[in-house]
Structure 1
Amino acid sequence: MSAYAVSFLTRMLEIYSPSGKEEEISNFLAEEMKSLGLHVRKDDVGNVIGETGKGKPTILLCGHMDTVAGTIPVRVENNQLYGRGAVDAKASLAAMVIASSTFVKEKFPGKVLVVGVVDEEGEGKGIKHLVKSGISPDYAIFGEPSGVENITIGYKGSLWLKITCETQAGHSAAPWLFENAIEKAFEVWRIIQELHMPQEKSESRFYSITSCLTKIKGGELSSKVPSKCDIYVDIRVPPPLKSQQVFDEIGRKIQQYQTANPKVLVRMKVKDLTDPIEVEPKSLLVRALSYAIRKVRSNTPTLIRKTGTGDMNVLGNALKTPVVTYGPGDSSLDHTPNEHINIQEYLDSIQVYREAIIRLVELHKKGK
C-alpha cells in the first residue's frame, strides 16, 4: 500500500491543475477511484465524488484538486516529495481517497463520501455547488495542511471589499483647491484599518479583526488631481462576529466620514463574504481524530485555529454539520516554490483518516 500511495500522489502532482483547469486531474481521480472499488460520479461543475458503504452515519472527506498557478519539478529528495500541490492540498486528497478505499471490502456500518472539489483557490464554486446540491453528511473532514499531529478547529471569516472614492478633478499645479481621491482613499483605508469591535480580543491573532490593503487603482499621468481611486481590502473576521456585522460597522464609519467630507463620494462593494467558524473541542469528530492521531503517531494532538478562511467555513456554516480540517504538511509551504510533503507524514495521515472514521462511527453509534 505504501508504494501505491506514493505513486498515486506522485501522479497527481505531475498533473498541472490550477483553478479552472481541473479536467485532467478530475478524470484521473475518477478512474483511480473506480479502480479502487468506489462508486464514482462527477457533478455539473467537475467535482469528483466517490462513495462506499451505506446507512448512517454519512462521513464526508473533502479535498480540492486545484492548485495555484505555477509548476515545481516533481521529485523525491530526502524522503520529501516535491511538487505544486504537495502540501496544498493534493497529499490530503490522495490520503482521503486511499483511506476511503480501505472500507470497500469491509462491512462498514455507515457511508463514506470522498470528494475532490474544483476552484478552492479561486472563487470556491466547487464547494458552493456541493452545498447547493443537497449533500447532507453527519460529519465532514476537510483535507488541508494542519500538520499530521494537529487538528484545525477554527477559521476566521473573510470580507473582501472594493471601495471607490470620487472627487472633483482639477489641475495638479493647484492641489490645494481640490480633494485628491487617492489621498481620500487612504483616509478611508485608515478608518478600516483601525476598526475594532467589542466582541473581539485585540491581543489575539485569531480573535481579532485584521485587514490588508491588497490593491490600489487611481490617478493618471497627466497634470490632474486624481478624481477617482479604487482600493481593494481583505478583512478577516473572528468568531463570534459575523462578517455582515463588520460590514455594517464599516458602513457606519464611512457614512460618518462622508458627512465630515461632503466633497468626497465613497462607494463600497462586497466582492466576497464568508462567516468565521469554530468547532467545539470536545465534539465527537474532534475526539475521534484525536484518538486516531494518538494511536498512529503516539503523540497528543494539538488543536489549532487559523487566521485564514477555508471550505470548512462554507459547508459548516451552511449545513450546520460538525466539521474539522485535517491533513499532512506544513502550511507555511503553501504556494511557495519549495512546496513539499514528508512522505512518512503523508502515509501516516492515511492511517489517521482511517482510524478516525472507525472511531467516529463507534462514538456515533454509542451516542457519546
Structure 2
Amino acid sequence: MKFSTWSWRRMRMNTYEVEFLIDMLKLYSPSGEESAVAEYLRDTLSRSNFDVRIDDAGNVIGTYGSGSPTLLLCGHMDTVPGRLEVRLDGDLLYGRGAVDAKGPLASMIMGSKIPDPDGKIVVACLVDEEGDGKGVKQLIRDNIQADYAIFGEPSGACNITIGYKGSLHVYVECITPTAHSSAPWLSSNAIEKTYEFWNSIKNHSFDCNKVESRFYSVTSCLTTLKGGGTPGLIPSRCEAEIDIRTPPQISPEKIIKTMTELAQDFERRNPDVKIKIRDAGYIPAFEADQRSILVRALRYSIRKVCGRIPILLKKTGTGDMNELGSKLNIPMVTYGPGDSHLDHTPNEHISISEYLTSIKVYREVIPMVFKLHRNVGD
C-alpha cells in the first residue's frame, strides 16, 4: 500500500485508530464470510479489557464496565460482495465497507475506550446485516438488555439519523385467459395487467401521505416482474415483487387492506383478470424521540466537537435499528462517519478526518449519556 508524505504525517498523529480501520478493510467480509474480521475484533476488544464472546450467529459481543445504565453500541461487520483495493489517497481511505459500515463500527470501538465508565458499555459487532439480518435476530433471541442504543451507520460525523422507514415486501400474482399472440384483442395480457395494477398502487394517495415529506409517505417500487414464456401465446400468468416503504404512522395491515381493496376494484374493471396478493414480510418503521436523553447527549457532544448544531436525519431506507427498535422500548439513534451515497459503490471511501472526529464524539457522548441518566434518576 502506498501513502503520500501528507498521509504518513496524518497517520502518525492517530496511528492506531487509522491502522485499525485499514486492517478491518483488508479483511474481506461479505455476508456469510465474517469469521476473519470477527476474530480480529474479538482480539481487539479483549486487549481493551472488554469481556468478549462470540454468539451462535457469529456476532462479536464485548462488555465493559458495570452497573446501570447500559449503552449498546451496535454495528455490522459484513459488507456487500465485491472486493475493492484498500488505499489511502490524501485524507480519503478507500475500501469495501469503508462507509457501510466498517468505518462507523471502527469509530464505535475506538470511541468506546472510556476509562472507568459510570455504566456498562456493550459493543455488538453483527453479521449478515446485508443479508437476512441473522445477527440482529440473534440479539433479539438472546434478549439483549440495554437502556440506550446507538447503531453504527453513516450519518456524517456531525449529523444524527433519528428515523428509518419500514419495509413491506409484497408478492402479486396475476392470472388471465390466453389466446394466440396474433390476436391480442381476444384476451387480457397478464404482464400488462400486472404492470397496470402496480401503477394503481404507486399512484394511490394513501390517507397518511404528507406530500411535502418522503419520510412520512408510502412509496412503492416494482422490483421483479416474471411472466410469459411462449412467443406464440398471450401471457396468462405473471408474478411481481413490490418493495413498499412505510412511514411510522401507518401499519402494514392497513397497507395490505388498501392493496386488497385496489385489487378488488381492478378485478371489477377487468372481469377476466384475477389478482392475488401475499405479504412476504414486514420490518416496522422507527423514529426516535428527539427529547430523549440519548438524542440530547449526542447533540451536545457533536456541537462540542464539530462546533455546530447537528442535522437530524430521517432516511427512507431500512436498517437494523428498525428490527431492534420494534422489540426494545428504549431510546435509539443511528450515528457514524461517512456519506451513505457511497454505500455499495465501486468508489466507496471515507474521510480519515471525519472518522477521527466521530471517535471524539463517541468519547464525549458515552460519559454524557451516563451522566444525564443519573441526573434524571436523582
Do they superpose with TM above 0.5? yes
Structure 2 CA distance, aligned partners of 1:248 and 1:12?
A: 46
CA contact 1:160–1:273 (8 Å) conserved in 2 = yes
- The residue aligned with 1:256 is 265
Q: Does 1:126 align with 2:153?
A: no
Structure 1 CA distance, aligned partners of 2:275 and 2:165?
A: 27
Structure 1 CA distance, aligned partners of 2:271 and 2:69?
A: 59
Match of 1:219 among 228, 233, 239: 228
Offset, 1:221: 4.2
In structure 2, give the amino acid aligned to 1:208. Answer: S
Q: Secondary structure at the match of 2:108?
A: helix
CA contact 2:118–2:367 (8 Å) conserved in 1 = no
- The residue aligned with 1:190 is 199
Q: Does 1:2 align with 2:14?
A: yes
CA contact 1:96–1:350 (8 Å) conserved in 2 = yes
Where does 1:141-220 land on structure 2 (aligned, <5 Å)?
A: 141-220=150-229
Where does 1:272-351 land on structure 2 (aligned, <5 Å)?
A: 272-351=281-360
Q: Secondary structure at the match of 2:266?
A: helix
In structure 2, give the amino acid aligned to 1:76. Answer: L
Offset, 1:208: 1.1
Structure 1 CA distance, aligned partners of 2:229 and 2:286?
A: 42
In structure 2, give the amino acid aligned to 1:46. Answer: G
Q: Please give the per-residue CA displacement for 1:158-178, whole angstroms capped at 9, x wherever unaligned.
A: 111121111223211122111
Structure 1 CA distance, aligned partners of 2:14 and 2:49?
A: 18
Deviates more, 1:319-328 or 1:241-250: 241-250
Structure 1 CA distance, aligned partners of 2:279 and 2:184?
A: 32
Q: Does 1:44 align with 2:44?
A: no
- The residue aligned with 2:8 is none
Match of 2:368 among 350, 359, 363: 359
Q: Does 1:270 align with 2:282?
A: no
Q: Please give the per-residue CA displacement for 1:88-132, whole angstroms capped at 9, x wherever unaligned.
A: 1101111111222x13xx322210000111111112121122112
Give the gaps of 5 or more residues in structure 2.
1-12
- The residue aligned with 1:113 is 122
Structure 1 CA distance, aligned partners of 2:264 and 2:142?
A: 39
What RMSD, in angstroms, separates the aligned Cα atoms of the two structures?
1.4
- The residue aligned with 2:3 is none
Structure 2 CA distance, aligned partners of 1:196 and 1:235?
A: 14
- The residue aligned with 2:25 is 13
Q: Does 1:54 align with 2:66?
A: yes
Structure 1 CA distance, aligned partners of 2:195 and 2:171?
A: 13
Structure 1 CA distance, aligned partners of 2:68 and 2:267?
A: 56
In structure 2, give the amino acid aligned to 1:24. Answer: A
Q: Secondary structure at the match of 2:317?
A: coil
CA contact 1:243–1:276 (8 Å) conserved in 2 = no
Match of 2:90 among 62, 78, 93: 78
Instruction: Name the count of aligned residue pairs.
Output: 365
Structure 1 CA distance, aligned partners of 2:253 and 2:365?
A: 35
Deviates more, 1:133-142 or 1:168-177: 168-177
In structure 2, give the amino acid aligned to 1:158. Answer: S
Where does 1:134-145 land on structure 2 (aligned, <5 Å)?
A: 134-145=143-154
Q: Does 1:95 align with 2:95?
A: no
CA contact 1:315–1:321 (8 Å) conserved in 2 = no
Q: Secondary structure at the match of 1:225?
A: coil
Q: Does 1:243 align with 2:252?
A: yes
Deviates more, 1:108-117 or 1:259-268: 259-268
CA contact 1:80–1:340 (8 Å) conserved in 2 = yes
Q: Please give the per-residue CA displacement for 1:190-236, whole angstroms capped at 9, x wherever unaligned.
A: 12101222222022121111111111111114201111111111111
Structure 2 CA distance, aligned partners of 1:35 and 1:268?
A: 53
Offset, 1:80: 0.5
Offset, 1:345: 0.7
Q: Secondary structure at the match of 1:10?
A: helix
Structure 2 CA distance, aligned partners of 1:268 and 1:2?
A: 55
Structure 1 CA distance, aligned partners of 2:324 and 2:80?
A: 22
In structure 2, give the amino acid aligned to 1:32. Answer: T
Offset, 1:326: 0.3
Structure 2 CA distance, aligned partners of 1:317 and 1:196?
A: 26
TM-score for the superposition, normalised by structure 1: 0.96
TM-score for the superposition, normalised by structure 2: 0.93
Offset, 1:270: 2.4
Structure 1 CA distance, aligned partners of 2:68 and 2:274?
A: 56
Deviates more, 1:335-344 or 1:34-43: 34-43
Deviates more, 1:302-311 or 1:258-267: 258-267
Q: Please give the per-residue CA displacement for 1:331-363, whole angstroms capped at 9, x wherever unaligned.
A: 111111111000011011111112111101111
Give the gaps of 5 or more residues in structure 1.
none
